[in-house]
């Protein structure tokens, strides 16, 4: 059966369920406006490890195993683990995968990884290839800063458009049965590049990719912003969110009343000194697996569109004069009846 809808979208008729999620965040994220939606808030962002990289891996491992436990499943019940992260060679994911007994599909989508992994897990379950699959990702402020920008010890000043990498990790277990929020559509994005070269202006680098995927999702499905209670981009921050909200209007879609950006919501930017907002794979992961999932479960919202956005930034490519391409993947998650249909 052909499941394609329009140019870039697939419809998942079997409605693969997100039967559980788990989230963990660092102390800073635990002081932000969404703190009540996270399962675990760390007191110390090293989480008892002796490096930030090992700490990030421990976060990811903890949510993968917690989500499986919440779903009343065992590792053997999970047929695939889809995971990726920001670190070179996705070491958080590789080493977390080493510690669980689950076939592993490693991904790299930068900060688009939550929607990339959730979309793939949902398709694989919908296609009958898995009874259960886990989608997950992580990021850590301190491991990301020293890899992508400068060692924290340098104390570099951050420009107003800079974003703050979220310390956090989220995981979701996708399965075939039960009364849980379910995935209906997946729209995978193309790589878009509008020539941004500033590693401190990720929101602007990612916004065109977000717009491209969102308008394609609407065109493919025939849906409009009115069909959704919530549309959430991953980590554009306040600057990228404004760009996206305006650019999408050129295609005739007005998302003003229902559109949030996970990176803008996760911090109180002024009080917490995070400039343009949060970023990192963990940003849309903990907001999707925490805030959005729990609001779907409780019936506060019925249809959500998650668009995780990735800046495909590379120090090596930047040194060689390249601009920063972006990508965005969208997943429609719904629960409890139709809003407009």
Cα separation, 101 vs 74, in Å, equals 10
Question: Quick check: 189 binds its own copies (CB under 8 A)?
Answer: yes
Using CB under 8 A, which of the segments 94-102, 200-208, 219-227, 264-272 binds its own copies? Answer: 94-102
Q: Which of 35, 190, 197, 339 binds its own copies (CB under 8 A)?
A: 190
Largest CA distance in the chain: 56
**289 vs 311, which CB is nearer to its own copies?**
311
Using CB under 8 A, which of the segments 17-25, 129-137, 221-229, 262-270 binds its own copies? Answer: 129-137
Residue with tokens 């779903």: 71
Sequence length of the chain is: 341
Q: How far is CA 100 from CA 15, 183, 285, 289, 330, in A?
A: 27, 25, 20, 20, 28
| Number of residues forming the site for its own copies (CB under 8 A) | 62
DSSP 3-state of 97: helix
Nearest to 193 by CA among 330, 324, 329, 8: 324
Q: Is 31 left (phi over 0), alpha (psi -120 to 50) or beta?
A: alpha
Side-chain-facing half-sphere of 146: CA atoms under 13 Å: 10
Element (H, E) at 281: helix 281-286
Using CB under 8 A, which of the segments 127-135, 155-163, 264-272, 298-306 binds its own copies? Answer: 127-135
Using CB under 8 A, which of the segments 66-74, 85-93, 278-286, 289-297 binds its own copies? Answer: 85-93
Element (H, E) at 56: helix 52-70
Question: Quick check: 43 binds its own copies (CB under 8 A)?
Answer: no
DSSP 3-state of 260: strand
N-to-C CA span, the chain: 23
Q: Which of 126, 227, 261, 264 binds its own copies (CB under 8 A)?
A: 126
Question: Quick check: 314 binds its own copies (CB under 8 A)?
Answer: yes
DSSP label at residue 192? B
Q: How far is CA 65 from CA 100, 131, 136, 197, 220, in A?
A: 8, 17, 11, 38, 36
The site map against its own copies for 243-282 (x = CB under 8 A) is: ----------------------------------------
Question: Quick check: 90 binds its own copies (CB under 8 A)?
Answer: yes
Spatial contact of 219 and 252, defined as CB atoms under 8 Å apart: no
- DSSP-H helix ranges across 149-276: 202-221, 237-249, 262-265, 269-272
Cα separation, 76 vs 176, in Å, equals 16
**89 vs 340, which CB is nearer to its own copies?**
89
Q: Give me the least distance between CB of 87 and its own copies, in Å please.
A: 7
Question: Quick check: 109 binds its own copies (CB under 8 A)?
Answer: yes
Binding residues among 322-341 for its own copies as defined by CB under 8 A: 322, 325, 327
Q: Give me the least distance between CB of 177 and its own copies, in Å please.
A: 13
Using CB under 8 A, which of the segments 35-43, 164-172, 199-207, 309-317 binds its own copies? Answer: 309-317
Q: Give me the least distance between CB of 322 and its own copies, in Å please.
A: 7
Question: Quick check: 115 binds its own copies (CB under 8 A)?
Answer: no
Using CB under 8 A, which of the segments 93-101, 237-245, 253-261, 298-306 binds its own copies? Answer: 93-101
Question: Quick check: 24 binds its own copies (CB under 8 A)?
Answer: no
**Token couple for 145:** 């800063």
Q: Give me the least distance between CB of 128 and its own copies, in Å please.
A: 5
Which residue ranges make up the site for its own copies (CB under 8 A)?
A: 1-4, 7-8, 10, 50-51, 53-54, 76, 79-80, 84, 87-91, 93-95, 97-98, 101-110, 116, 120, 123-124, 126-131, 147, 188-193, 312-317, 320, 322, 325, 327
């Amino acid at each position: 059966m052909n499941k394609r809808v329009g140019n870039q979208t697939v419809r998942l008729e079997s409605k693969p369920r997100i039967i559980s999620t788990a989230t963990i965040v660092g102390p800073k994220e635990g002081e932000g406006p969404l703190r009540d939606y996270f399962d675990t808030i760390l007191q110390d962002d090293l989480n008892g490890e002796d490096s930030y990289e090992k700490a990030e891996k421990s976060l990811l491992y903890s949510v993968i195993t917690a989500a499986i436990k919440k779903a009343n499943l065992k590792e053997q019940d999970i047929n695939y683990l889809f995971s990726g992260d920001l670190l070179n060679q996705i070491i958080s994911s590789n080493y977390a995968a080493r510690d669980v007994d689950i076939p592993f599909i490693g991904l790299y989508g930068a900060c688009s990884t939550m929607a990339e992994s959730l979309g793939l897990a949902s398709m694989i379950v919908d296609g009958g290839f898995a009874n259960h699959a886990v989608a997950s990702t992580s990021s850590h402020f301190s491991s990301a800063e020293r890899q992508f920008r400068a060692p924290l010890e340098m104390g570099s000043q951050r420009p107003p458009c800079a974003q703050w990498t979220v310390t956090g990790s989220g995981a979701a277990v996708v399965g075939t049965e039960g009364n849980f929020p379910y995935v209906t559509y997946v729209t995978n994005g193309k790589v878009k590049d509008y020539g941004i070269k500033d590693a401190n202006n990720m929101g602007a680098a990612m916004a065109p990719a977000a717009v491209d995927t969102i308008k394609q999702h609407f065109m493919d499905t025939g849906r409009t912003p009115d069909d959704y209670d919530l549309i959430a981009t991953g980590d554009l921050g306040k600057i990228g969110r404004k760009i996206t909200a305006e650019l999408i209007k050129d295609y005739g879609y007005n998302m003003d009343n229902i559109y949030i950006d996970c990176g803008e919501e996760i911090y109180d930017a002024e009080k917490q000194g995070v400039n343009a907002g949060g970023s990192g794979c963990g940003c849309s992961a903990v907001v999707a697996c925490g805030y959005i999932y729990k609001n779907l479960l409780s019936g506060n919202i019925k249809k959500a569109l998650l668009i995780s956005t990735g800046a495909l930034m590379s120090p090596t490519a930047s040194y060689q004069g390249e601009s920063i391409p972006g990508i965005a993947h969208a997943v429609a998650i719904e629960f409890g009846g139709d809003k407009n249909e």
